[in-house]
Amino acid sequence: MISNSQNNRNRRSRSGIVLLITLVLLVVLSAMGYALTAHVAAQRHRERYMIDYASARYAGDSVIRYAIATLGDINIPPLIIRADEPDFSDTFAMTEVQYQEFLEKWSAEKAFETRYDANRTGGVNDFNDANEVNNVGLYVRGIADINSPNSLTVRGPYGPVWPFITEPVEFEIGLAKVRIEIEDENAKYPLGWAMVDDEGIRREIWAAFETFCEWMDVNETDIRSMSEQFQRVSKIKSFQLDFKPIEIKKEAPQPPRSRRQRGRRSRPVPGTVTTTSIPATVHTTDFARLFHSSLIDAEVLARPTIVSESRKESALKYIGMWGSSRVNINTAPRQVLEAAFTFGGDYREIAEEIIKRRQEKPFESIEELRKSLFKYSASIEKCQPYITTVSSFFTIRITVTSGVAKASTIIALTKDGKEVQTVAIMSG
């Protein structure tokens, strides 16, 4: 009896051990299977990504060659008249609540103006009546549908949203989707100003930079840190407002002497001196590299101040990081204008006057600006090396998406008439 009971317990014990081993083996095999599946999936994802990235890079390289080759034939569009519209820079410092309230108010004003015009000319549409059959696709001066405040667009100096000079272009190359954006770099605050090695204007230089940073809510600690970074860059190479071409003189080797000449003591005949000129854009290229190196902490400037569905604001958006040296008074936002005219004083008053007048008619020259704002002519004279009325410095941003991969390239260039000079090309 005892023996049978003991045997039963032994059998149950062996069954439990077998069951436990079986469960352990199943868990191990499941884990191995999951790991193998994950490894295979990750490998396929990497391979897919490499194929997509190669496709994106190939399409991007093709677009780069096309953009550089054809940009000389592209005319920069003229500046538009925005007499009855708000200035594009007045919305940059608004919070999202303030921005939405501004759009609603502007939409209501536009709706009233349009109804007034329609009534005066015998219009019969009721713009607030959703059943009105003719109230479809109604636009106010090409700005937006007045019945939808969120569709309102504050146009930039060229028509598209600041700082674009043309509407972004999108097309496809094979399976890759390409987007091309052209920005006006003369509409931004030149970072090189903070590195001009001139004791006579150092105080004004730093005041201009602090004015800009205060607008973008950059704290004092970050400003001091950037000051140290700028000093390190200045030790490598100082920034100039007007870079000059580099002239390199080289003496050609003397012609070989005959046997008779070798035996005589005579003064060597000097060789021909040749001069090679390297264009001034080489300096701009150097600073484009320095500004995008680890010497400058761009993350501080890229820190977002406003993020919403319609807007993304940061200090970096308004800073020229490619070696530009002048600000276009017709295309720069208010705070960049104020920073530019800090060098001469009365910067708030001058910026306000420029914004009012350029909405009616863009300035054609600095002389016209001086005559228009005669009482500020002394301040404008001091700021003349920092300002212009015609942009010549642009960036082309090319973004290519293929499958799960994205590749981007930025081309910085200067344009003078048909002549285009590439400053730098950066890919990421």
Of 15-29, 366-380, 410-424, where does the model show the most confidence?
366-380
Question: In the predicted model, is pLDDT for residue 73 greater than 70?
Answer: no
Q: What is the DSSP letter of 264?
A: S
Question: In the predicted model, is pLDDT for residue 304 greater than 60?
Answer: yes
Tokens of 305: 């101040």
Q: What is the pLDDT of residue 390?
A: 93
pLDDT greater at residue 371 or residue 122: 371
Question: In the predicted model, is pLDDT for residue 29 greater than 50?
Answer: yes
Q: What is the pLDDT of residue 71?
A: 62
- The radius of gyration computed from the CA coordinates of the chain, to the nearest angstrom, equals 33
Q: What is the pLDDT of residue 132?
A: 38
Q: Which residue has the tokens 């607008």?
A: 215
Question: In the predicted model, is pLDDT for residue 273 greater than 70?
Answer: no
Of 80-94, 119-133, 271-285, where does the model show the most confidence?
80-94
Q: What is the pLDDT of residue 144?
A: 47
pLDDT greater at residue 383 or residue 152: 383
Determine contact, residues 104/152, Cβ cutoff 8 Å: no
Q: What is the pLDDT of residue 135?
A: 35
Query: Quick one: what percent of the chain has pLDDT higher than 70?
Result: 75
Question: In the predicted model, is pLDDT for residue 238 greater than 70?
Answer: yes
Instruction: Give mean pLDDT, residues 53-65.
Output: 78
Question: In the predicted model, is pLDDT for residue 410 greater than 70?
Answer: yes
Q: What is the DSSP letter of 324?
A: -
Q: What is the pLDDT of residue 256?
A: 63
Using pLDDT thresholds of 50, 70 and 90, give the confidence band for residue 226.
confident
Question: In the predicted model, is pLDDT for residue 387 greater than 90?
Answer: yes
Beta bridge partners of 425: 411
pLDDT digits (tens, 9 = 90+) for 119-177: 555 544 443 443 333 333 333 444 544 444 456 778 899 999 999 998 898 888 888 88
Question: In the predicted model, is pLDDT for residue 24 greater than 80?
Answer: no
Peptide bond into 163 cis (omega under 30): yes
Using pLDDT thresholds of 50, 70 and 90, give the confidence band for residue 218.
confident
Determine contact, residues 106/98, Cβ cutoff 8 Å: no
Q: Which residue has the tokens 């969120």?
A: 150
Q: What is the pLDDT of residue 149?
A: 46
pLDDT greater at residue 371 or residue 84: 371
Q: What is the DSSP letter of 374?
A: G
Q: What is the pLDDT of residue 42?
A: 66
pLDDT greater at residue 241 or residue 74: 241
CA 171 – CA 295 distance, rounded (Å): 37
Q: What is the pLDDT of residue 57?
A: 78
pLDDT digits (tens, 9 = 90+) for 38-47: 766 666 767 7
**For the residues of 140-152, what is the DSSP string, one character each?**
BTTTB-TT-GGG-
- Which range has the worst mean pLDDT, 12-16, 262-266, 271-275, 342-346? 262-266
Question: In the predicted model, is pLDDT for residue 69 greater than 70?
Answer: no
CA max distance for the chain:
133
Question: In the predicted model, is pLDDT for residue 265 greater than 80?
Answer: no
Question: In the predicted model, is pLDDT for residue 255 greater than 70?
Answer: no
Q: What is the pLDDT of residue 364?
A: 93
Helix or strand (DSSP H, E) at 27:
helix 2-70
pLDDT digits (tens, 9 = 90+) for 174-199: 888 889 899 999 999 999 988 887 77
Mean pLDDT across the chain, nearest whole number?
78
